[in-house]
Amino acid sequence: MKVKQSLLWAIMAAMLVQMAFVPSVVAEDEVEEDEPVVEEEVVPEVDALPSTVSPNADTFLLFTKPAQDLSAVELPAGAVVEFLVGFTNKGEEDFVIETLDASFRYPMDFTFHIQNFSAIAYQKTVKPGQESTIAYSFSPADAFAGRPIGLTINLAYRDMAGNFFFDPVFNSTVQIVEYDEGFDTEVFFMYVSMVAMGVLGLFLAYMLMGGKSKGSKRGGATAKPVETGTAGDDVDYEWIPRSALRTPGSGKTSPRQRKTKGAASSDEE
């Protein structure tokens, strides 16, 4: 009985201790849930140089390969695109063309770069009242075929006073199209191979048919008998009387011999 009572008191004491610790744990969870969550700020990407243009300079752009109208530019994917940038100095001081670069941007957000092309350093001085032209080329990736994409072309230049200028010569959406070659070398060599194989097949067929026709002519012709005469003198002269053996010309006898033979034959009778 005493053992049961002591066991009961131990269970009740454990329950009291558990009830005392549960509120503190719940309070700690509530405090942790109330802590503010700090989110990282996403800083949009911006150009390193400010977009400033000198009033004493004019620029223009001309696509040469392929020739394009700036109002609707279509660039072939996987092919080389070339363009010219003209720079006119209308001021009284020299200008120095620093760099020219191009890049593809996301059409809905031009601050997002998709493909960057190399920046070419020219370091070309343009005198007052003069005009200079620089060339640039790039190749759009094949993956952009059939998609509209933003194209940005930037020209950086400076004056003799050390003022830097940044001119976005072209900043618009273009269409990337599939490159259509006028002459496909793969198709050409495929046709050449097919023609060569056809000529070879006709040649082999002609050779086979010619061999069969010659064989049939040889097999169908009958051999004509050819007299060869006696190849050798194989006659046995032992059983033939010697009187019957006459050499060529022996039948021709002189009159004296014929008389002698005639007299001999009459005596025998």
Amino acid identity of 106?
A: Y
- Residue 45, both tokens: 């990407």
Using one digit for the tens of pLDDT, what is the confidence trace for 202-227?
A: 888 888 887 666 666 565 555 565 65
Q: Which residues lie closer than 8 Å to 72 by C-beta, 6 or more apart?
A: 175
186/52: higher pLDDT = 52
Percent of the chain, pLDDT > 70?
Answer: 57
Q: What is the 3-state secondary structure (H, E, C) of the chain?
A: CHHHHHHHHHHHHHHHHHHHHHHHHHHHHHHHHHCCCCCCCCCCCCCCCCCCCCCCEEEEEEEEECECECCECEEECCCCEEEEEEEEECCCCCEEEEEEEEEEEECCEEEEEEEECCCEEEEEEECCCCEEEEEEEECCCHHHCCEEEEEEEEEEEEECCCCEEEEEEEEEEEEEECCCCCCCHHHHHHHHHHHHHHHHHHHHHHHHHHHHHHHHHHHHCCCCCCCCCCCCCCCCCCCCCHHHCCCCCCCCCCHHHHHHHHHHHHHHC
More confident residue, 179 or 122: 122
pLDDT at position 139, please? 94
- What pLDDT was estimated at residue 210? 76
Look at 67-71, 176-180, 228-232 and tell me which has the smallest mean pLDDT. Answer: 228-232
Question: For the segment 88-115, what is each residue's pLDDT rounded down to a tens digit?
Answer: 999 999 999 999 999 999 999 888 989 9
Q: Which residue has the tokens 């809905």?
A: 108
6-20 tens-digit pLDDT: 555 666 666 655 555
Distance CA(49)–CA(46), nearest Å, equals 9
Per the model's pLDDT, the better-predicted residue between 25 and 64 turns out to be: 64
Q: Which of 29-33, 139-143, 155-159 has the lowest mean pLDDT?
A: 29-33
Q: Is 165 buried (19+), middle (13-18) or exposed (0-12) by CB count in 10 A?
A: buried
What pLDDT was estimated at residue 190? 83
So what CATH class is 57-177? mainly beta
Candidates 88, 91, 101, 93; CA nearest to 162 is: 93
pLDDT of 219: 57
Q: Please confirm whether the linkage preceding 66 is cis (ω < 30° from 0).
A: yes
Task: Provide the whole-model pTM.
Answer: 0.52
- Nearest-angstrom CA–CA distance, 95 and 15: 88
φ and ψ at residue 2, rounded to 5 degrees: -65, -35
* pLDDT greater at residue 209 or residue 171: 171
Whether residue 37 has pLDDT greater than 90: no
